[in-house]
Structure 1
C-alpha cells in the first residue's frame, strides 16, 4: 500500500526516525521464525508513519524468510463478516472452484471457505455457528506454517470487523511454539469497530504494543533537507515540527507546499509555516480543486467513496467519461493525492479531506448512488450493504432488501456480528417486523443471548396467530438455555403448547402435528435443564404416547423421554428399549442431543456397550461439524461411562483430553462435565487431592440449580473428601445430594448412588444408624430399577451396615450380582468389603481369596487406590502379593494416552490434532513425553505397549479403523 508510505516517510520514500521501531518489528519476526509466536499492535495517530514502517519491515530480510500475507481494512467494509480475513488471504486466491486442488485447504481447513469468499455460492454449506469457520481458518494458517514461518500483517485494523479479530484471538490462543507473527496497525484516535475484540487481543500474553511517537526536531530537519536544495535553518525545522506536531504526513505535506510556494527554509520562511501548516492536507486538497475543473473534484470524490475501482465504474459514479477519469487521476497523482501504485487516494487523511469538500447531503446521495452502481455491476450484497450502512437516515425500501440479503450472506458464513449490524439498520425502518427480529435473534443467540431473548419476546408480543407464534417460542426456549432462563422458557413454551393443542384439536393435520412436536421437544429439552422445572415437565409428558421418531423433533422427544424414564427409575428394560428406538436409523439423522441423552439411559440400564456406541456416534458427528462444545460433552460423558465400566485408564484419557480442549475456549467456565469426570477418575486412581482441587475451582453461576451435573459434582466432591479423611463433610455433601435429587424428583438409584456411598462411610465410622433410612430408600429404588448393578449396590449398602453373618450374606449377594454387571470396579469393591467382613467373622482363608480377587480386579481396571487397599488388607490377613505399582502406561497422563492410542492405530499428528481440536505442536509434545515414559522410540512400538485386552477400546475413530464400528 502506498498511501502514507512515501508522504509519511519522506519525499524520497526514505524512512525517517523509525530505526528503533523497525528493529523491534524485525526482532519479533526473527523470534517467530524461531518458533516463538507473537502479535504486535502498532499504534499511533493518522499520518504518524505506521504504513511507512510496515512497508520498510515487509521489505526487510526477516520477512523474506516468511510467508507474508498483507492486507488493509477499509471503513466501508468495517462491518463485513470476515472482511479482514479476506483482506489477508486474498493473494492466495482460494475459492470453491480450486478448493479440491489446493493443499492449503486439505482437512479441516476446508471449513475456512465461507470466510474467504465474498459471495457464498448456492451449494456452499451453511456455517451454523462461528466455531467451524474459526477452526477451518486456524488449520489454513497451520497449513501455511507447515511450509515455513508465517506473518499476517493487517493495516488500518481499527476498521477490522469483529469476526476477523475473533479469529486472530482464536489463532493466538493456539499459537504455542508456532512460527507466527501477527502485526495489526491501528489509529489511536479512531474508535475500533470491535473494541471488545481488540481488548481481548491486547490482553493476550503474546501481544506487544508498539506506539509510534511524533518525529523530533532533528528528524523533521532531516526530512526538510530531503526537500529543499538549500541549507535548512534549525529554527525552521523546529517551527515545522511544532506546527505539525511531529506528524510525518503533515510535515511532508507542509514542506512540499512551502517549496512549491518558493518559501526558503530559513528565518524568513518561518513566517510562512503557520499560515500553510495548519490543516495543510485539507488546504492542499481545496487549493487543487479550486484551480481545476469541477470534474476533477467529482472524480476524486467518487474514488474516495468507491476506493480501488476501475475507471469505468469511477466515471459512472462521478458522471464523467472513463477517459476523463484517467486524466483526473493523472492530475491527482501529480499533486500526490493519489497512491503511485494503485488507483486509490494516497491516505485516509486525504480521503477525509476530499469527502469533507462534498458536504453531508451530497455525500449521502453519492453513497446511495454507489450502492446502486455496485448492485448493477453484480457485486456481493455485503459490499453493497456496506455503502448503505454509511448513508444516514432511515434506509429506503430497496436498501432494506440489500441489507437483508447481506445479513443472510453473513449468517451463512458464520459471522453473527455482521448479520446483526445489517439487520439493526433494517429494524430502524421496520421496528415491528417479526421476520427481522427472528433472524436478528438467531444471529445474536451465540454472541448475545440476552438480547436475542428480548427480541424474541417482542416478536411474540407482535404475533397473534398461534401457529406463527409456535416456532418463535421454540427459538426463544433454546436461546434461554445458555443464560439459565429455563423457567422463563418453560413458562412461554407451556402457554404456547396449551394454546396450540386447543387450536389443533385431538387429531391435528400433519403440519400441525409437526409443529406440536417441535414445541413439545423444546419444552422437554428446556424443562430438563433445571431442578425447578424438570419434575413438572416430566409429569406433563408422563402419559404422552411415544412419537414414531420419523422427524428430528420426534427423535428429540424420544431421547428426552428416555432421559426422564431413566432418571425416574421405573423400568430399566423400557428405558433401554426407548433409547435403542431413538438411535435406530430410519432415514433421519440422529442429532447430538438425542445421542447424548440416549447414552445416559443406556448407561443407567447397564447397557455400557450401547452407551459407548451412542457417544462414539456423537463424537463422530461433532468432529464432522467441528462442534467443539458437543465434542467435549460427549467425550467427558464417555469418560464417566468408561469409569462405570471399570476402564479407568481410558476414562482418564477422555476426561483429561476434554479438559485440555476447553482450556483453549473462552466459554470454558460454563462447562463443568470435564472437571467432574476427571475428578471422578482421579479419586479411584489414588489422587483425591488433585480431584478435590479440580472440583473446588468450578465456579459456574447458579450451579446448584442444574438437574444433572450438579448431583454428579456433589458425589465426586464427597468421595474426594472421604478419601482425604474428611468423613463429616463427605456425609454432608451426600445427604445434600439426596435432598437435591428428591427436590428434582430424580429417583434412579444408580444415577448418583449417594445412599450407597453414604453407607460405606457410616459403616467405616461405626455410625450405621445414621444411614439406614437412606439405604432402605435406595434399596427400594434399586428393586424397582432391577438391574444387576442397582441390586448389587443395594446388597452392598445393606451388607456393610449389617454386622455378623447376615452382613456377610448380603455382601456375598453383592459380589454375585455385581460380577454379572458392567461395573467391574464396583465388583472389585464388593470383593474387598466381603473379604473384610470375612476377616471380622473369623474366616481369614475366605477373606484372603476375596481380597486377592479385589486387588487383581482393581489393578486390571486401573483403580489403583482400591487395589492398594485390597493388597494391604490381604497382607495383613497373612496373604502374599507384590506391591501394586503403576505400569509404564499408567505413568501417562490422560491426554498422552489418548494421543498415543490414536498414533498407535496409524493416525498422523495432524489427523490427531484435528480430531481432538488441539494443535499439532500439542500432539508432538504429548508424543515426545509418551516415548520417554514408555521407553519407545517410534510409533510402531506403541501398539504392543498400550495393548490391554481386558479394557474396552472406544477411541479408534472411523478414519483409522472403520471396520471396528467404533467412534
Structure 2
C-alpha cells in the first residue's frame, strides 16, 4: 500500500512543544530588543498548535508584553477585517486606542460580486486605512512590546491578511512579534496574499507527533502519574494514537486513576474509552468535511483502499482523496495506507450513518468484486452491508466461508453463511448454505446445527440434496443416535455414482464405527437376501477393508504394518483435513496395538493444535480419547482430568449420544479412586436414551456396573453387565478389548458366591480375545479366573496376569492383581511373602492415585480348600479374642503387611499409638515380630479392610 507523503515541511524537522516554546521565547526576546519577528507555526491535524499559542500567550503577558490575539474560523472567513477586529478587542487597552483603531476598521461581509475585494482582499479606499492601522500598531509597541497571535490563519479573511502583510513589511526595527499558526495541509493552495505572508517568516516552527519519550514525560507531568506502569504503557499509547497529542491526552483521561478499577482488557494494555473515541471524531470533523468521508472509505475498503478506489466509492476526485490521506498520515491516524490502529478503525466504522453505511459497504463489495479481490474481503463488506446485491454475491459468500475455514476463522465463516442463507430464501442455494452451516457447527458447537437439520431432511426426501451436502447431515444423525437413518444414507451414498467424489465419506464410515463399534458398509448379496442372517454375522468387511485404521479391523485381523501406517498417515495430516472421530480412531488403533508412545505423542500434537485453533469439538473428542488411554494405564488422576475437560468443552446437547465416552471414563476413574459420591453425582446426570444404542452406552453400562459393585449393589451391577453383554452380542461386536463385560459379570457372580458361573464366564472371555490387545485383556481375565479357581491354582494364574499387565503398562490392574497375590500367600500361611507383595501393591496403587484396591476374594479360603473347623475355638483364636478391639484392628493390618505409618493413617491414630498397641499385642500373643502374628487375625470379625 502506498504512502501519501506530500510536499511541505519535512517531518524530520518537526519539534516538540518544549523546543517550540524555546523558539518563540527567543523570538520574543529579539522583539523586545527592537528586532521585530514573524514566526510561523505549522503542524498536522490536532498537533497542538492552539495549546502552544495559548501557553506562549501566557508567557508573553508575564513578560510585560501587550498580547493581541485572534482565531480564524471557517464561518467568519468572509467577514471583512474580522481577524483585525478580534485583535483590537482581545486585550484591555486604553479606550482612546480602541476608538482610534475602530475608526480604521470597517467590518462587513464581503460581497460575492466584489471582484476587486475577492482578488486582492482590499478596496482602494482601504489602503490608507491599513497604512494608518499598521502605524498605530507600531506606535503602540514603542511604549510596550507587542505580541500579535493569530491562530488558524488559513481561515482569515483577505483584508485581515493584507493588514498583517502591511505590518510584516515594517517589523524590522519594531518591538513587535507576530506569531501565526496555519495547518500543514498537503496540496492546499491559499489566497495569494496568504501565500506571500507565509512565504518567508523569520522563524518557522513545525510541530510533529509525540514520541514515546514525550508521551512518557507527558504522563509523568499530568495528574495521572500514579497510573499503573505508566512508563511501560507509553509505547502502547504511541501505537494506539499514532503520537497524535489530542488522542494521547484522551487516553490519559480514559486511564485516569478514577477509572482504574474499571479497566478492561489485558493487564498492561491501556483502556480505550469514550474520551479516545470522541477525540478521534474531533480530529476527523475539525478540518475539511471530506476528511471524515475519506476515513470512512478507508475503514470500509481496508487493505484495498487506494485514492482511485476511495474516490469511486465516495464520488470524489483521486487528487482530493490523496490530499485527505496525506493529512491523516501526518496526523498519525494513518500508517502505511491503513488507519493506524484497530481502535481508530472501530470508531470510524461505528459512526452511525444508517442507510448510508449499507450503501457504502454494498458498493464497496461490488468494487472489490470487480477488481478481483479475494472472496473473504468481498464477503466482509457484504456482511457489514447486511444485504446481497445479486447472485454473484452468493458465490462470493460461499467461497469466503471456505477460505475462512481454511484459515480457521470460524466466526467469519458463520457470518458469511448466515447472510447467504437469509438472502437465498427458499431457493436451491439455501440448501448449500444450510449444509455448510451444519458442517461448521461441528467445529465449535454441534448442537448449533439443529435448526438446519429438518430442512435438509425435507430436501433429502424430495431428492434435492447432493451427496456432499448429505455428509454433515449423516454426521449429525450419528452423534444424535439415529443409527438406522444414518446407515441408510451412508449406504445410499456409498452405492451411488458420486461415491468416489463425495468428500468426507471415508471419515463417516470411521465415525460410524467409533460411535457404533462396527463399520457401516454396503450390504452383500447374501445379506440382501437374508437381513436377519446378515445382522447375525455383522457388517460385511471384505479383505480390501482389513487395512482400514479401525478397531474392529485390528481386533479381527490383528496388527499389520499397513494398518499402522494408515493410522499414522491420518494423524500426520492437517487438523481440519479430517474429522475428530477419524483421528480418535487412529489414536486408539495405535494405542490398542501396543504403540503407546506413538499414540501419546500424536495425542499431544493434535491437542496442542486444537487449542491453538480454538476448536472446541476437536478439543473435547481428543480429551475423551486421552482419558480413555490414561485409564487403560491406570493413571486415574489424568483420566479423570481429561474426561472432565471433555465434558466441559461441549454442552451435553452437543455431545449427543456420544456423551457416554467421557462420562463412563470419569465414572470408572472416580470409582477406582474411592470417590463414590462424585461417581454417584455423575450417574445422576440424565443421558439421552440413544446413548444405549451406541458403543458409549456400552462403556456407560460397564462403568455403572463397577460402581454398583464398589458400593455393594450387586444385583444392580448384575443387570448392567448382562445388558451390556446382550447388546454386544446382538450387534456382533463382542470383543473383550472393547468392553470386557464377561469379566465384570464374573466378578458379580463371585460376590454372589457363584464360583462355577464366574469361571465359565471368564473362560469364555479368554477364548474370545483376538490377535491384538491381548496382553491387558488376558491379564485382567486371568485375575478374575484366579479368584474363581481353587486356592492352590491361584498363584500361577495371578503371576501370569501380573506379567501380562506389566507388559501392557496398566498399573491399576497390576496393583489389584498384586493385592490378590498377597491374599493368596496369606491364606496359605506365607505371611512374609504376603506382606512383601502387599507393600508393592500399595506402591502401585499410590502411583495410580488411589488407595482403594479391592481383592476379588478376601479373608476366606474357598470351601474345597478348607478343613472342617472345630466347634470350640483354637488356642490361636482364643488369644486373638483376648485382644481389645483397638489392638485387634492394629494387629490385623500389621498381619496384612502394612507399615506403622499406613496403619495410623487408616485408623486415624498416631504412629506412637500404633507402636504401643503392637507392643501389647506381641506380649499377649507371645510373639516377637510381625511375621509371627497368627493367621487367625485375618479371619477375625473385626471390620478392617486391608
Per the normalisation by structure 1, the TM-score is: 0.48
**Which structure carries more relative contact order (alpha carbon 8 Å, separation 6+)?**
1
Greater Cα radius of gyration, structure 1 or 2: 2
TM-score, L = length of structure 2: 0.49
